[in-house]
Structures are given as structure tokens and as C-alpha cells.
Chains A and B, each alone.
Chain A
């Protein structure tokens, strides 16, 4: 029986004992993801790459006449369990001049679901808001 610390049953490895940590395979996440809804007012595209085992994200927000490039940030990848080896989810945070945006994404079959939790820091009075977008790999 492993005596590793836990906060829920799911934290426990199926087999006893500890093991060497291996990096999570980022390939399922990688690519240039396009919003299914071309009229979305949220995120237009997201590019996910692998920088020495760390996922990097580059997001483009919906805007006219051209999408707005948010720049690139490092994220974190997650498997589907403590014994998992393939990435099924990720997080990343954009610290913008006027807002902080937590991106929380996961794969659902061949679909990428991306939730953006936006918190305004500029005193504009805008409400913090949640927005969900769905993406595919063309």
C-alpha cells in the first residue's frame, strides 16, 4: 500500500509504491486549434506547442478587422489520472495589463474545450466573466 499523501481516493496510484516521474506526452494537445464558431466573440484560435516538455500557448482573441494576438505563455499539462501518460487537459494564465485570464482546457475526443475565466484588474467596473469555446484541428 502506498503511503503517498492524498486528498481523495483518486490521488492514489493503482499499483503500490512510488515510481519515477515521467513527463506527460503533449502530442494530443499540440497544433493550431480553430474555433468551431467563426462568429465567436471569445477566443478565435489557440496554438499549442511543446517547449522541452512544457506546453506553450499562443491565443488569438476575436476582433475586427483582425484577431488580437495575446502572445505566448507557458502552461501546464494534465493526464486523465495519476497513472496517465497522455495529456488530456491544460491550464495557462495570461497576466494582461488590465485583466488576468485563467485558461482551463481539456480534450473531448477530437474536440478541444477551452474555458476562459477572466478577472478585470483595471477598475473599469466590468464584471469578471466565464466564457467557453470549442475548437477543432483543421
Chain B
């Protein structure tokens, strides 16, 4: 049996357990997620859907009049371990031209926790920043 490459114990398959293969099932994470903070100044809504085995995310940012629609992009889905079959986390990258935003999120006990890592590529002098936000269905 071929030894799989790894860089930590968690990368390894348990003895006698086959790799699951295939695509993670995102049924438990798809849907509409709303910021728990009604006064949120960051992301106010996330829409997740699975389309032809691909996880898609659409984020909406807080606006003064109405939310900014960031559009839909493809996300990468992650399980809880190498033998997982269900999605419990995702990452995605928005490139707005003046700003690159990495979304890194996971679901836990009915709450979606979203970290954003924001890098400005314009000359506005704004600091690159991190945010952590919480969502419910």
C-alpha cells in the first residue's frame, strides 16, 4: 500500500480506512446566513449554494442605504478531517480591483463564523484588516 504524503498526523488516513474520494456534501451549510449583529458594518449576509458539485458563495456587505452585493464566486469546501463526507468550512477569495478579501469560514452548532482578511491594493492608505463575524440562518 502506498504511503500518502503528510506534514502532520491529521493528514493521515486511519488504519484500514479508505479515503472517501468524491466531493464533500455541502447540504448542511447551504442556504442564507444573516449577521447576528444587526448593526454590523461588515458582511451582513452570506448566500451559499451547491451547483454541480461546486460550492458557491455570495456575500453582501453593509451599506448606508442598501447592502453592497459582492456577486457570486466559487468557494473551496472543507470537511472536519481527511475522512469527512460533509462540508463544515469553506474559503473563497474576492478580488474587487482595489481590495482583495479572503473569506475563511466554518460552521459550528448552527452558527457560521466568518473571518475576512482584507488587503487594499489602491493608494488610499487604508490598513489591511481582519474581521470576525457571526451568522445564523
Contact = CB atoms under 8 A, between A and B. Distances in A.
Contacts of A2: 124
Contacts of B91: 102, 104, 117
Nearest to B127: A79
Given A99-B11, A119-B76, A9 B4 contact: no
Interface of A: 2, 4-11, 13, 18-22, 24, 41-44, 61-64, 68, 70, 76-85, 88-89, 91, 94, 96-99, 101-102, 104, 106, 115, 117-120, 122, 124-132
Contact of A43 (B8, B68, B89): B8
A29 B135 CA distance: 27
Most interface-central of B4, B44, B80, B118 (chain A CB within 10 A): B118
A122 B104 contact: no
A41 B104 contact: no
A68 B117 CA distance: 27
Contacts of B4: 98, 122, 124, 126
A82 B5 CA distance: 40
A82 B127 contact: yes
B99 to A, nearest CB: 6
B95 to A, nearest CB: 11
Residue of A19, A21, A89, A127 most packed against chain B (CB within 10 A): A127
Q: Top 6 nearest A-B pairs by Cβ distance?
A: A8-B61, A61-B8, A125-B19, A89-B130, A130-B89, A125-B21
Contact of A11 (B9, B76, B99): B99
A90 B104 CA distance: 12
